[in-house]
């Protein structure tokens, strides 16, 4: 009897709880029981938080471009030095996305993101003594002074000049589609693309050159007696070599905008631009530096105690040295990668390892642009929905409450607006005034157009619900109490139909996102350099991109698809939770 009584008591408590449960709690309960809807909500929340929170830490300038990093596939192999080389390394050359090293036996190793031609290492080089790496080719010299090259093979880059063949080579250098050899007599021979890096070998005529170093613009030559020589045909900031350092230079490096020279007393002198505060030499470097290395916007100094110091740009952690770095004998740096070789031949790396989702045709990270593009696409969709909701609720509420002639007039206006072909109208407006406003104004225009042309559907739903609610007792009671009609509409009736409005807004949000993406894909929405998922896909319309650079369109498509599908599934689940009988129809 006791057990039966407890069972009946438990059943009664459940019935009592069901009777006390509010409609809102019932909706929440029904929604939580829908695993597809809750899973979709989780996916959307994750995407939303990633797009709006991660860019706080992972920043990227909207106008950023880097031609050395364009169309790079996903991966983190830039600094993956082979195990066979570690502990036996002699020298390392650095490319934009790869590295090339030689061991003490003269064997060549490669790693990173390599083209097919870069993988074709000549088999007859013998013992390699020195290497130089350009944008997409490699230059090597063996123990007999013979020069070899592989990789990019256009612009005569793969043809060793007759002046270099059968002659002893002192040092080599490689730049963007250009190769340079310094012969034993101190003369310079250059070959490759004459129109890329501004270097004129004759500028160092009759000088005993020791070595040449280049950046993306030009190069400088260092003579055996410690003098620096500009090699550019046109005047550059690198030509302003301070007179007081001539004859004292032991080493030098070039970033994109700045030249740094190491003097025989261990001090460093800089000239040119000061981007990324590259001229601000860190404390403890002056008087203790023994060699220099540099990338596009950072510099590294090897000190006399076997430690190193890096400074300048740090957007890819290229200026953040690993802890415990000591007993260093040489450092190789270029672009955004760094390699430090210690006395035992071990290699320590830091800098750019690669890109999660690859890069686009301007060298911008696809992952970062997906995050920023998600911000823009979701913001446009959200604001557009808010505008359409405000207009739709006002028009639908007034139309449904007053009915009669007001209802006829407002609904005919809604039908006219709803019949307008949205995309052609948006294209025409964008073509007419799109170039006359700023990019921010263009985005605002898109949001307003989307909102203004999307309200008829909301108005129809609100009107239907208000027509059903206005005959109920609480409306009659409000009228009897003298409540103003606008308050009856917007403070009493509309809150009772808000669940239906929320469901409609959720589904409309996904539609507005797709519409914005469609406009941007057609080139009439959000424009460069501001990213959106639509204009990211707009840049991938060529067959070359689709077939060769798949990551540029696959990842933005996945992000857009996941976001819109998850919103639609959640909206559908919310609709079923509000009206459980809808699933039976």
pLDDT digits (tens, 9 = 90+) for 425-461: 777 776 776 667 777 777 888 888 888 888 888 888 8
Would the pLDDT of 1 be above 50? no
**How many CB atoms lie under 10 A from the CB of residue 431?**
10
**How many CB atoms lie under 10 A from the CB of residue 145?**
17
pLDDT at position 124 is 87
pLDDT at position 513 is 86
pLDDT at position 9 is 46
Mean pLDDT of 266-277: 92
Would the pLDDT of 581 be above 60? no
The closest of 189, 258, 252 to 226, measured between CA atoms, is 252
Mean pLDDT of 30-56: 90
* Listed range (5-19, 294-308, 332-346, 561-575) with the worst mean pLDDT: 5-19
* Per-chain mean pLDDT for the chain: 87
Omega before 474 within 30 of 0, i.e. cis: no
pLDDT tens-digit series, residues 45-73 = 999 999 999 988 888 788 888 888 999 99
Global confidence as pTM: 0.84
As a whole-number percent, the residues of the chain with pLDDT over 90 amount to 47
Backbone angles phi, psi at 277, to 5 degrees: 55, 40
pLDDT at position 187 is 92
As a whole-number percent, the residues of the chain with pLDDT over 70 amount to 94
| Better-scored residue on pLDDT, 100 or 540 | 100
DSSP reduced 3-state for 57 = coil
pLDDT at position 503 is 81
Identify the DSSP state of 218: B
pLDDT tens-digit series, residues 112-124 = 999 999 999 998 8
For tokens 């290492």, what's the residue? 121
CATH of 26-56+366-584, one of 3.40.50.300, 1.10.3450.40, 1.10.3720.10, 2.30.30.90: 1.10.3720.10
pLDDT band at 505 (very low <50, low <70, confident <90, very high): confident
pLDDT at position 2 is 46
Ordered by start, the domain boundaries in the chain are: 26-56+366-584
| Better-scored residue on pLDDT, 318 or 425 | 318
Would the pLDDT of 317 be above 90? yes
* Listed range (152-156, 214-218, 354-358, 445-449) with the worst mean pLDDT: 445-449
Q: Are 301 and 308 in contact (CB under 8 A)?
A: yes
d(CA 30, CA 44): 19
């Amino acid at each position: 009897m006791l057990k039966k009584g407890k069972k009946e008591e438990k059943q009664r408590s459940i019935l009592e709880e069901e009777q006390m449960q509010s409609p809102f709690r019932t909706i929440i309960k029904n929604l939580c029981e829908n695993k597809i809807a809750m899973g979709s909500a989780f996916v959307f929340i994750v995407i939303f938080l990633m797009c709006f929170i991660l860019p706080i830490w992972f920043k990227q300038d909207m106008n950023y471009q880097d031609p050395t990093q364009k169309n790079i596939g996903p991966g983190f192999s830039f600094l993956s030095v082979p195990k066979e080389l570690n502990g036996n390394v002699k020298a390392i050359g650095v490319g934009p996305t790869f590295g090339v090293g030689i061991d003490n036996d003269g064997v060549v190793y490669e790693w990173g993101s390599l083209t097919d031609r870069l993988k074709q290492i000549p088999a007859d080089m013998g013992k390699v003594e020195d290497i130089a790496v350009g944008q997409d080719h490699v230059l090597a010299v063996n123990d007999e002074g013979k020069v070899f090259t592989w990789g990019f093979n256009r612009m005569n880059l793969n043809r060793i000049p007759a002046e270099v063949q059968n002659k002893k080579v002192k040092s080599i250098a490689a730049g963007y589609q250009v190769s340079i050899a310094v012969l034993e007599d101190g003369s310079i021979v250059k070959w490759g693309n004459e129109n890329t890096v501004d270097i004129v070998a004759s500028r160092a005529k009759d000088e005993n050159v020791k070595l040449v170093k280049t950046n993306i613009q030009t190069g400088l030559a260092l003579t055996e007696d410690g003098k620096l020589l500009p090699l550019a045909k046109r005047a550059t900031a690198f030509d302003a070599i301070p007179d007081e350092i001539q004859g004292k230079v032991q080493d030098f490096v070039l970033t994109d905008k700045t030249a740094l020279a190491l003097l025989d007393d261990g001090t460093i002198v800089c000239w040119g631009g000061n981007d990324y505060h590259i001229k601000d030499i860190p404390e403890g470097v002056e008087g203790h530096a023994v060699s220099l290395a540099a990338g596009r916007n950072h510099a590294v100094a090897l000190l006399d105690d076997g430690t190193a110091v890096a400074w300048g740009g740090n957007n890819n952690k290229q200026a953040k040295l690993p802890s415990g770095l000591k007993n260093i004998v040489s450092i190789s740096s270029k672009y955004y990668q760094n390699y430090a070789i210690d006395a035992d031949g071990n290699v320590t790396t830091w800098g750019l390892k690669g890109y999660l989702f690859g890069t686009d045709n301007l060298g911008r990270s696809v992952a970062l642009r997906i995050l920023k593009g998600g911000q823009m696409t979701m913001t446009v969709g959200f604001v557009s929905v808010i505008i359409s909701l405000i207009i739709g609720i006002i028009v639908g509420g007034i139309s449904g409450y007053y009915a009669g002639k007001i209802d006829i007039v407002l609904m005919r206006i809604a039908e006219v607006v709803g019949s307008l072909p949205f995309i052609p109208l948006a294209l025409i407006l964008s073509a007419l005034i799109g170039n006359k406003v700023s990019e921010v104004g263009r985005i605002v225009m898109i949001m307003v157009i989307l909102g203004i042309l999307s309200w008829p559907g909301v108005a129809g739903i609100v009107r239907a619900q208000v027509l059903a609610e206005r005959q109920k007792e609480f409306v009659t009671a409000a009228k009897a109490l003298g409540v103003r009609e606008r308050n009856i509409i917007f403070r009493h009736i509309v809150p009772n139909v808000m669940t239906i409005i929320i469901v409609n807004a959720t589904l409309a949000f996904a539609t507005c996102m797709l519409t914005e993406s469609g406009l941007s894909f057609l080139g009439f929405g959000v424009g460069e350099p501001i990213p959106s998922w639509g204009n990211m896909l707009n840049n991938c319309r060529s067959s070359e991109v689709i077939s060769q650079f798949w990551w540029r369109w696959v990842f933005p498509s996945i992000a857009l698809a996941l976001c819109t599908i998850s919103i639609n599934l959640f909206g559908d689940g919310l609709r079923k939770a509000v009206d459980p009988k809808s699933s039976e129809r």
